[in-house]
Every structure is written in C-alpha cells, then in structure tokens.
Structure 1
Amino acid sequence: MAEMANLGWGEGGEAWGWQRRLLAWEEESVRECSAMLSNVVLQDHIQDFWRWLLDPIHGYTVRGTYRFLTSDAEPVVEGVQKNVWHKLVPSKVALFVWRLLQDKVPTRANLVRRNVIQPNGILCAGGCGNIETADHLFLGCNLFGSVWYLICNWLGICYVPSCQLSDHFLQFSNMASMPRFSHTFFKVIWLASIWAIWKDRNNCIFKNAVIDPQIILEKVKRDSFFWLYSNRISLAFGFHDWWRHPLLCLDVK
C-alpha cells in the first residue's frame, strides 16, 4: 500500500501498471477504485490494526454480531443483498449491485461526502438539477429513471414502483400476479437495468456521451438475453422474440 501511495494511486498514477490494454469495464473499475483510495491517508509510525465497525470502541464480540444479524433494523441484509448474488449474472454486476444497495458506489453525493470532489459537483449527471444519490440516480432522475417506464412497456406490465432501491428490487423481482418461476428472470432484468444505467451514466461523465433512455433499454434487452443464454437457460424463442415479447419467451401469458 505504501509503495502504491508513493507512486500515486490517483487516476493515471504510476501505481496502475498493466501488462495489457484494459477493457472498458476494467477501466471503469480502476476509476472507482482510484476514487475510493483518494480519501485514504497513510501515516508514518502508526501501526495498522483491525477495526470492527459495528463496535469501534469494544471491538468484535459474538454477542454484538448476533444482535446485528438478528436485528429488525437491518432487514435489507438478508432480504436484498443476499439475493443479488445470482449465477445467471456476471459476478462484477452482482458485486456492483451488492455495493449499490449498501450505498457504497461512487455517486456524486458519496464522492462529495468523502471529499473526493467539490460540493458544487454534487448534482446528478442526468442534468435534472437534483443531488445525485443512489436512489435518485437510478429511480428518481427524469432521464435515467425513465428507463423503468420503457422496461415496463417492453414487459407489458404496470405497477407503482418504490422510490427506494432495496424496496424497488424486491418489488420488481417478486412481481405480483406473475408465476413464481418467472421471478428469477425479473431479477436478471432488474440487474441488467441497473448495470446499463450505471455504465451510461459513466459514459456521460467521462466520455461526454449523450444519454438516450431508449438505447439503455436496448442494452438491457441484449444483456439480459445473453446472460440467460450463456447460462444455458432454455428460452422458448430466439433473440428477436425476446426483444419483442419477453413474457411469451418465459411462457408467461
């Protein structure tokens, strides 16, 4: 760590050396890692030590851990975060969503809180003029949030969505009136939607790309189909049928 800090672990620093050209998603991961490390300060003559965040004063105890795991104050741990780990989606996507549901991804609100960027840079990348929190970016933004309306039209469903990510995930992936076997597919579509929104948000910031919710929808269709197909999930129809009639492909009528 000290050697990396000396070389410079900011974006473009000498600490980042690679034997091959990075893929686009790998470059994105490096930027996120660099943003998290930018707020880390190493101090000479101070020994490293483990710190138990649930109880920084007294440290780890079995009793304290048991209380945390069984407390009603943290229902999201078991009900949501555990469910994002799914064999049908790439591990990098599951990891991102797991961090997202803990509000650990580098939204502008989080970057301001960590003193990575200035407070005047806190507004949403969608240009709506609101603070870019995770809930707002993915659900409340007029631009990025409109993707969910398009997804519902594509699926042919209608429901009143939650404005909180954890509730939205549970609501969407356990869609009422749909057969239980279809819930896995709705979960895959939700994860693909979150991933597509985040990638286009980053393209908007780092590459000055123009955001088009319809194009994000097309990426959701593409990614969800190929994630299912690559895991040998038997779909009743081919790619173009999935593009137009996903519920028929899932045998949901």
Structure 2
Amino acid sequence: MALLGKWIWRLGTDKGGLWKEILVSKYGGWRSLREEGKVGRGSLWWKDLKEVWASEGWGRSFEDGFEWEVGEGRAILFREDNWLSCGALKSVFPRIFSLSVTKGAKVAELGNWFDGVWVRKDRVGEVSPVYSKLWRCKVLPSALVTAWRVMENKIATRVNLERRGVVVENLVCGLCGKVEESSCHLFSVCEFTWRVWCLCFEWLGVSFVIHKDPLVNFQQFRLCSASDVVNDVWGAIWVGVVSGIWRHRNSVTFDRGVVDALEVFALVHVNVWSWIFAKSCCNSFTYPNWVLNPVDCMRLVV
C-alpha cells in the first residue's frame, strides 16, 4: 500500500514525465482517482490506485496534505481543487457549483492576478464584442435583460428549471408541444419560433439562416454592408423577437393564451418602433412608414 501511495503522490506532485502524460491522457490524472464508479478497461495497477485512494479516507488525507503553489493557476481547477483556505468551492457552495456552466475550468481561465489579487475576467478588461453590440441596442432595459439571459442560457426554460433542481411536471415546449423546452429550442428551432423569424425576414426582405445557439444567432444577425447605427436597429429587432417569444410563451403557459405567431410579429413592429423613438433623436418617420419600409427607416435613425 505504501508503494501505491507513493505513486499517487508522484502523480499529483511531479511536473512532467512521459509516464505522467500517458496516465493523464488515458485516465485524467490523479483527480480521476476520487471519481466513484468502475474503472472499465483500466489496468489492474490503476484499479489498485483507486482502491488505495478510497480506503480509510486516504484520498482525503492526500488532498489535505497539498499546499498549492498557485502561480498563474494553469494547473488548478477553480471550483474543484482545495486551493483556498476555506476549502474547495465545490464543497463550500454546492448549489452554485451545480448551476455552473464552467465546471472543470482552471484558475487562469477565469481570472487574472493584479498586484497579488485575483480578479475575475468578466470584471476587468474589454467587454466581449457580442455584448457590446447588445448593450448598444436601443431597447427597454427589461427586454435587454431578457435577451442577455437568453444568450447566457440563464432564462427559466423548463429544461433549465429542472437542471436547477425545480420539479417540472412536463419538459415539453409549451409553444410546439413536441420537443423539450431548452433555450436553443425555444428561441431558435421551435416550429412556432421559426414562423416568427420567417415573418420578420420576409418583412425585412432578407434571407437568413438561424443558428441554434442564441448567442451565435445574435452575433450573426447583422448586415455586413450597413453602418453601425443600422446594425444597432437590427440588434433591437432581434431583442424584440426574443423578448416577444418569451412573453408569449409565458402567456400561453400561465394565462392560457393562444399560440399565435402573427401576434408576436405584430408586437415586434410596435415595440421596436417605440423603442427607437424613446431612445434616439429620430422623429422623421411614422409607424406606417416603419411597417412598410423598415430598412429605409433604419437609415434615418440618429
């Protein structure tokens, strides 16, 4: 047992070596020893290592014996490893860990060191160009927040609610009644959603391919030859469609509303036009002009 324990120690502390690279590529390194379950086609030697790890809490003693040298954090898992004095974040905040979409991320991937203080990357540096485009859209804050939640997959779809531990009676989409209601389905590939998008494309006089990922969909929803101002209005239309689909879904789910793609499309007309007038200095076109000639009206927005 002592010899096997020494191999585990070397697996966790040695910084290189062909033998370690092979084990990491095949089994995942020393962290895989703490995973429960069968090894499958693992060697007898690896199975013995797992038995030693699990016997009499040896593995916990091994981890507690580490004193991490963080450095840039390229080898330390941010949530899973015990690199903080309070313990592993996975154990301290299990609820947050269960909702995290960055499990397995390294310390260096999620933040940087500034004068000895670690700061998350989303609090420093430049904002992602995709979100910079979103924040420029001339829309109501409530619609902006809805769009951001959709792009981040934080919207309370039935699949997301179940993932958070909420008991959901039925996961099927309330608008098409055929597929599980995930963010990708509800806002991109649902039959109802596709009808709404087609109505918008016909209104705008364009052909477009919908990407199933809302974040990529928003990023691609622009005119290559148009000015930034015109593309900001295009972004507002995207926000109007997404927020309109979400409101309509809630109406159907909670208020026994009727599924109607034309209703959502009509509200996109009204909402985006009202947002433009509320958020810009433009007053040179009327609502009928907006409905009949949207692209021409976009060029008049200041």
TM-score (norm 1): 0.68
Cross-structure match for 2:188: 139
1:186 partnered with 2:234: yes
> 2:138, 2:233 within 8 Å by CA — same for their partners in 1?
no
Residue type of the partner of 2:83? H
Q: 1:108, 1:132 within 8 Å by CA — same for their partners in 2?
A: yes
* Partner in structure 2 of residue 90 of structure 1: 140
Say which SS state the counterpart of residue 111 (structure 2) adopts: helix
SS at match of 2:162: helix
Which residue of the partner structure matches residue 123 of structure 1? Answer: 172
**Aligned residue in 2 for 1:218:** 266
Matches of 1:168 and 1:211, distance apart in 2: 23
CA contact (8 A) 1:135 1:165 kept: yes
Q: Check the 8 A contact 1:88/1:231 in 2, yes or no.
A: yes
Q: How much does 1:62 deviate?
A: 8.5
Shift of 1:79: 3.3
Q: Which has the higher contact order (CA 8 A, sep 6+)?
A: 1
2:250 counterpart (198, 202, 220)? 202
The one-letter code matched in structure 1 to 2:139 is V
Would the alpha carbon gap of residues 89 and 233 (structure 1) be closer, same or farther in structure 2, given more than 3 Å must change?
A: same
Q: Which segment is superposed worse, 162-171 or 109-118?
A: 109-118
Question: Measured at CA, do residues 101 and 87 of structure 1 come closer, stay the same or move farther in structure 2, by a change above 3 Å?
Answer: closer
Q: CA deviation at 1:235?
A: 5.0
Gapped runs of 5+ residues in structure 1?
1-53, 71-76
Structure 1, residues 51-108: CA drift from partner, whole Å, max 9, x if none?
xxx82343599855039749xxxxxx71323432236211122222222211111001
Of all paired residues, the percent bearing the same amino acid is: 25
Amino acid in structure 2 at the alignment position of 1:99: R
Question: Alpha carbon RMSD of aligned pairs, Å?
Answer: 2.6
* Aligned partners of 1:169 and 1:190 also within 8 Å: yes
Shift of the alpha carbon at 1:163? 1.8
Segments of structure 2 that go 5 or more residues without pairing to the other structure are 1-76, 90-105, 114-119
Amino acid at match of 1:214: L
The structure with the largest alpha-carbon Rg is: 2
- How many residue pairs end up in the alignment? 191
Q: Aligned with 1:127: secondary structure? A: coil
Q: Deviations over 1:13-72 (max 9, x none)?
A: xxxxxxxxxxxxxxxxxxxxxxxxxxxxxxxxxxxxxxxxx82343599855039749xx
Contact kept? 1:155, 1:246, Cα under 8 Å: yes
Matching residue's letter, 1:244? L
Measured in 1, the distance between the counterparts of 2:199 and 2:137 equals 26
2:32 corresponds to which residue? none
Give the letter aligned to residue 154 of structure 2. K
- The answer for the alignment partner of 2:210 in structure 1 is 161
Tell me the distance in 1 between the aligned counterparts of 2:201 and 2:281. 22
In the alignment, the residues of structure 1 paired with residue 225 and residue 177 of structure 2 have an alpha-carbon distance, to the nearest angstrom, of 34
2:275 and 2:150 mapped to 1: Cα distance?
A: 20
**3-state secondary structure, aligned to 1:66:** strand
Tell me whether 1:239 sits opposite 2:287 in the alignment.
Answer: yes
- TM-fit CA distance, 1:229: 0.4
User: Deviation above 4 Å: which 4+ runs of structure 1?
Assistant: 59-64
Note if contact 1:235-1:250 (Cα within 8 Å) is conserved in structure 2.
Answer: no
Residues 1:106 and 1:244: Cα distance change in structure 2 (over 3 Å): same
| 2:131 matched residue in structure 1 | 81
Could you tell me which residue of structure 1 aligns to residue 72 of structure 2? none
1:65 partnered with 2:111? yes
1:149 to 1:233, Cα distance in 2 relative to 1, 3 A:
farther
- 1:157, CA displacement in angstroms? 1.1
